């Protein structure tokens, strides 16, 4: 069995699902991260507690449990029959990593020296301007490497969606394995290489983000 | 689907059933962590070999293991390892889980060890050379006592991450809490109740541990972070 001519074409069929889920859940989790991260810093105590609850629930349990739970609960809760489980995968991965990333957002904003915020106040900036022009541009540089790391984690998480019946790279690999048991090691290695190739750009972007975050920062 | 959305009756029925899997889940977590802590040293030593090509290869192998899905690595151990020529043996699901997840997490733990050793200042190494300490004395009395404490909270964090990752071993039929919940769910059509219990168990065990480790982290930081110590000394002194 040739890995390039026999196995790869089969796996490519699942590439679309893996990549679209990764992109959609990454965007969803980034949005969740900023919303939840900023809500955690809000002055409103209910908002703060409520987001805290969301974060602790999603960080305290595991992705596979959340994925299964949403898989069974969403059709019942909203009384709908989904045409595809794609959206469930995106929601589960997005909410899970959104919770992790919101802590990154919160931590980075809190790590900006209080003098920065005081100086902005002294310059008569509104709280929005303070965030937009002073705090955020500094905080975002610190967030970038962590966002990269968690995106790699999300890619690893997308392999779980085959468990709720989505046809991703892992699904097609597993189908092949079940008909070619003797070639199982080779098939799985090729599947792993597929995921690694998808991870490579993310690894390099993360390294780049790390070097940007370090550059020109006085300690 | 089911007319009854949520039944407390099924919930209370499922609870003892799912709880039966907890011993296995905890046992897998602890065994995997011990395996990963031992295997982490292998990576540490391999990376300290002062040969460029070796260093490069080891780094990329670690990167490969770390950035590919652990579930596929588990499937590899469970379904593919027995047919690997010469070295392949059939392993129990428990052993597959320990080795598969253990190797995956050992790459993280190897990095933790490395960061611990690198956190020891250059002056410490030079001073031990200047004092003519033997290799053993240098590591035993100078490097390790400073390198180990800061790694403890990091290791604790990874223990919790591992604990939350262990439910994926249900897919290779390790009979932990998630496996029990799925079995109960399929027998009684009570997936939501059973899965909620799994979530609650994970939350109840991981949240307090996470809080504890966060406290430990703060304590370690104030003890070992020089800036924090200086801040503490300068407290009350107008700067």
User: Is the pLDDT score of A218 beyond 80?
Assistant: no
Neighbour-count burial of A37, counting CB atoms closer than 10 A to its CB (0-12 exposed, 13-18 middle, 19+ buried): buried
How many residues belong to chain B?
A: 239
Q: Say if CB B60 and CB B46 are below 8 A apart.
A: no
Rounded (5°) CA angle A179-B182-A68 = 85
By percentage, how much of chain B surpasses pLDDT 90?
67
Q: What is the CATH number of domain A16-165?
A: 1.10.3720.10
Scanning every residue of chain A, which has its alpha carbon at the shortest distance from the alpha carbon of B210? A60
B147 reaches A (C-beta below 8 A): no
pTM of the model: 0.88
Looking at CA atoms only, how far is residue B128 from chain A in angstroms? 28
Neighbours of B112 (CB within 10 A): 20
B13-34 per-position pLDDT tens digit? 999 999 999 999 999 999 999 9
Q: Give the integer Cα–Cα distance in Å for B5 and B193.
A: 10
B-chain CB neighbours of A160 within 8 Å are: 69, 71, 168
A181 reaches B (C-beta below 8 A): yes
- Which residues 6+ apart lie within 8 Å of B210 measured at CB? A59, A60, B157, B160
Distances (CA, A) of A17 to A2, B35, B125, B148: 24, 34, 51, 43
Tell me whether residues A73 and B192 touch, CB distance under 8 A: yes
Model ipTM value: 0.90
Tell me whether residues A184 and B1 touch, CB distance under 8 A: no
Q: How confident is the model at residue B94 (pLDDT cuts 50, 70, 90)?
A: very high
Tell me whether residues B68 and A60 touch, CB distance under 8 A: no
Tell me whether residues A184 and B80 touch, CB distance under 8 A: yes
Distances (CA, A) of A89 to A157, B34, B90: 9, 32, 33
Query: In the structure encoding, which two tokens stand for residue B51, read together?
Result: 């040969």
Residue B219 pLDDT: 82
What are the backbone dihedrals phi and psi of residue B48, each rounded to the nearest 5 degrees, phi first?
-85, -5
B173-228 per-position pLDDT tens digit? 999 999 999 999 999 888 899 999 999 999 999 999 989 998 888 887 776 665 65
Q: What b/e readout covers B196-225, taking b as 16+ CB neighbours within 10 angstroms?
A: bbbbebbbebbbeebeebeeebeebeeeee
Q: Give the integer Cα–Cα distance in Å for A166 and B177.
A: 24
What are the backbone dihedrals phi and psi of residue A42, each rounded to the nearest 5 degrees, phi first?
-70, 160
DSSP for A47-89, please give it. HHHHHHHHHHHHHHS-HHHHHHHHHHHHHHHTT---S-THHHH
Tell me whether residues A188 and B63 touch, CB distance under 8 A: no
Q: Give the integer Cα–Cα distance in Å for A160 and A17.
A: 12
A97-152 per-position pLDDT tens digit? 999 999 999 999 998 888 898 999 999 999 889 989 999 888 998 899 999 999 99
Distances (CA, A) of A66 to A62, B107, B173: 6, 26, 19
Q: Give the integer Cα–Cα distance in Å for A76 and B184.
A: 19
A204 reaches B (C-beta below 8 A): no
For B76, the closest of A76, A163, A188 (CB atoms) is A188
Residue extents of the structural domains in chain A: 16-165
Neighbour-count burial of B230, counting CB atoms closer than 10 A to its CB (0-12 exposed, 13-18 middle, 19+ buried): exposed
- Which residues 6+ apart lie within 8 Å of A39 measured at CB? A47, A48, A50, A51
B-chain CB neighbours of A60 within 8 Å are: 164, 202-203, 206-207, 210
Tell me whether residues B196 and A61 touch, CB distance under 8 A: no
* CATH superfamily of the domain spanning B8-234: MetI-like (1.10.3720.10)
Q: Give the integer Cα–Cα distance in Å for A33 and A35.
A: 6
Rounded (5°) CA angle A6-A10-A11 = 115
B229 reaches A (C-beta below 8 A): no
Restricting to B residues 59-98, those with a Cβ less than 8 Å away from any Cβ of A are: 63-64, 67-73, 75-76, 79-81, 83-84, 88
Q: Say if CB A162 and CB A11 are below 8 A apart.
A: no
For the residues B156-182, what does the mean pLDDT come to? 94
């Amino acid at each position: 069995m040739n890995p390039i001519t026999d196995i790869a074409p089969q796996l490519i069929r699942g590439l679309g699902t893996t990549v679209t889920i990764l992109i959609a859940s990454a965007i969803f989790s980034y949005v969740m991260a900023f919303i939840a991260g900023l809500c955690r810093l809000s002055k409103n105590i209910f908002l703060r507690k409520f987001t805290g609850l969301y974060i602790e629930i999603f960080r305290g349990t595991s992705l596979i449990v959340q994925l299964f739970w949403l898989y069974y609960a969403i059709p019942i809760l909203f009384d709908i029959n989904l045409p595809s489980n794609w959206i469930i995968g995106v929601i589960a991965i997005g909410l899970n990593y959104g919770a992790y990333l919101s802590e990154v957002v919160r931590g980075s904003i809190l790590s900006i020296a209080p003098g920065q915020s005081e100086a902005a106040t002294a310059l008569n900036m509104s709280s929005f301007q303070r965030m937009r022009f002073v705090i955020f541009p500094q905080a975002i540089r610190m967030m970038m490497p962590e966002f990269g790391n968690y995106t790699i984690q999300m890619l690893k998480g997308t392999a779980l969606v085959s468990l709720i019946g989505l046809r991703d790279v892992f699904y097609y690999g597993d189908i092949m394995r079940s008909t070619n048991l003797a070639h199982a090691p080779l098939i799985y290695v090729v599947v792993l290489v597929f995921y690694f190739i998808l991870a490579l750009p993310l690894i390099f972007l993360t390294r780049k983000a790390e070097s940007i975050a370090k550059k020109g920062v006085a300690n | 689907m089911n007319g009854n959305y949520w039944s407390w009756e099924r919930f209370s029925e499922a609870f003892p059933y799912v709880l039966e899997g907890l011993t296995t889940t905890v046992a897998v977590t602890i065994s995997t962590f011990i395996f990963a802590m031992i295997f982490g040293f292998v990576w540490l030593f391999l990376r300290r070999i002062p040969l460029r090509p070796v260093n490069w290869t080891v780094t990329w192998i670690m990167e490969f293991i770390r950035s590919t899905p652990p579930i596929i690595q588990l499937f590899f151990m469970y379904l593919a390892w027995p047919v690997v020529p010469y070295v392949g043996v059939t392993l129990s699901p428990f052993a597959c889980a320990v080795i598969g997840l253990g190797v995956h997490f050992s790459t993280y733990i190897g990095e933790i060890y490395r960061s611990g050793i690198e956190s020891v200042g250059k002056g410490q190494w030079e001073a031990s050379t200047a004092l003519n300490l033997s290799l053993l004395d240098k590591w035993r009395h100078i490097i390790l006592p400073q390198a180990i404490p800061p790694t403890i909270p990091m290791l604790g964090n990874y223990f919790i991450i591992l604990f939350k990752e262990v439910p994926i071993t249900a897919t290779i039929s390790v009979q932990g809490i998630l496996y029990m919940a799925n079995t109960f769910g399929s027998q009684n059509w009570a997936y939501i109740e059973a899965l909620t219990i799994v979530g609650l168990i994970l939350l109840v065990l991981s949240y307090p541990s996470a809080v504890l480790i966060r406290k430990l982290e703060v304590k370690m930081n104030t003890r070992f972070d020089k800036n924090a110590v200086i801040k503490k000394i300068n407290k009350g002194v107008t700067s």
